[in-house]
Amino acid sequence: MVSSRGTTIAYCRSLVGGGYELFVVGYNLSEAKSQELIKQRGDTATTTVERLLKLREDQRIHLERFLSEYDADIMLDDETVFDHDAVVAAIRMKMEKP
């Protein structure tokens, strides 16, 4: 199974002294699941399924670079990709930390 990783920044807050704290949702999806989700989304006014599928390798490279700099606060996979409750719980936990 080829793995595809993605990220979403779901939350940020200002830090004392400047800068921002990020909440990063990471995705470790199989290539099959990634393609399935792209095809379900379908064409839009700004892009097509075909174009998004062709960009998969470029996306993988950029996401690997991002994840080498930032740790994911929560990782979702094929089974948990839409587990919104887990993401909300993880955000709440992070917000409660000083």
pLDDT digits (tens, 9 = 90+) for 44-78: 999 999 999 999 999 889 888 888 888 899 999 99
pLDDT digits (tens, 9 = 90+) for 72-95: 999 999 999 999 999 999 989 988
> 34-42 — which CB contacts under 8 Å span 24+ positions?
34/4, 37/81
CA–CA separation, 47 and 49 (whole Å): 7
Would you say residue 8 has pLDDT above 70? no
